[in-house]
């Protein structure tokens, strides 16, 4: 009879670069993929001896699981895949993009309170000071496809800056700049409106580097006053109220799939 879980030594022997079947995952990741909880919460459940695989208590979150064949239970209840959920949130400024914050700050999960949803994970991140369109889902394959650098799905931001840049400065932005060994660039930068010492820019990125816009502008001593993500591909934030969430429509999911396919083919 096939063992429900491979021996620990074999699990740890997997080279880091080896491609595993899509149905395979470590136990903590499996619980997250199934929409039961976050990986951090899964580690706690496993440490408390509440998780069984094939009827046996599992004590190691790194053991490999076959999502299609292994039976996983928590507190005696079988964990089955939840329905796939795809949400858009209008993230307010001041919330962190994490499930549990050790500093006790508000998180994007505050926007989901009272909603009947399985466990969802953010698709990418917006830092605490940023706001706007944030996707959340329990479909990890879909999320990873959008986040894959090879997909080059465009993300559009409206950014209030000070001081207002002139044309020469805009030209330097477009050329990019090396910061901490990384070349930071944008697909496009245009002025939406300008008045006094401030201006609103529209910046489009086709890659996701940590705090890319703030670092790019900061290299030229330009202060970011507000940063709002308004679109991912053709998916628009629109009139969704701040702090609210809504499900994506089938046509929007189809558009994102098309955006990913077209951007991926043009990028490589």
Cβ pair 162, 223 in contact under 8 A = yes
E strand map for the chain = 24-26, 51-53, 56-57, 64-66, 72-74, 77-78, 86-91, 121-123, 131-137, 155-162, 177-179, 182-184, 188-195, 198-205, 223-232, 235-236, 245-247
Neighbours of 38 (CB within 10 A): 18
User: What does residue 115 show for φ and ψ, rounded to 5 degrees?
Assistant: -95, 140
Peptide bond into 163 cis (omega under 30): yes
Which residue in the list 66, 75, 101, 127 is annotated as catalytic? 127
Q: Catalytic residue at 28?
A: no
Instruction: Indicate which residues carry an active-site annotation.
Output: 127
């Amino acid at each position: 009879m096939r063992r429900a879980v491979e021996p620990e030594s074999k699990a740890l022997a997997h080279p880091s670069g080896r491609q595993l079947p899509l149905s395979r995952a470590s136990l903590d990741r499996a619980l997250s993929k199934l929409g039961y909880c976050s990986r951090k919460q899964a580690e706690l459940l496993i440490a408390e001896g509440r998780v069984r695989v094939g009827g046996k208590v599992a004590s190691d979150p790194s053991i490999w699981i076959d999502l299609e064949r292994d039976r996983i239970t928590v507190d005696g209840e079988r964990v089955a895949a939840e329905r796939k959920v795809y949400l858009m949130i209008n993230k307010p400024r001041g919330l962190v993009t994490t499930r549990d914050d050790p500093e006790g700050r508000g998180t994007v999960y505050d926007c989901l309170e009272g909603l009947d949803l399985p466990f969802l994970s953010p698709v990418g991140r917006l830092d605490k000071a940023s706001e706007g369109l944030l996707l959340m889902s329990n479909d990890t394959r879909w999320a990873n496809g959008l986040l894959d650098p090879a997909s080059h799905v465009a993300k559009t931001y409206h950014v209030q800056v000070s001081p207002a840049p002139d044309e020469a400065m805009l030209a330097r932005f477009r050329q990019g700049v090396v910061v901490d060994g990384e070349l930071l660039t944008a697909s496009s930068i245009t002025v939406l409106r300008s008045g006094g010492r401030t201006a609103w820019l529209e910046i489009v990125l086709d890659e996701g580097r940590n705090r890319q816009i703030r670092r790019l502008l900061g290299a030229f001593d330009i202060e970011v006053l507000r940063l709002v993500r308004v679109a991912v591909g053709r998916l628009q934030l629109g009139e969704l109220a701040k702090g609210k969430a809504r499900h994506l429509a089938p046509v929007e999911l189809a558009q994102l799939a098309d955006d990913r396919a077209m951007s991926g083919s043009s990028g490589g």
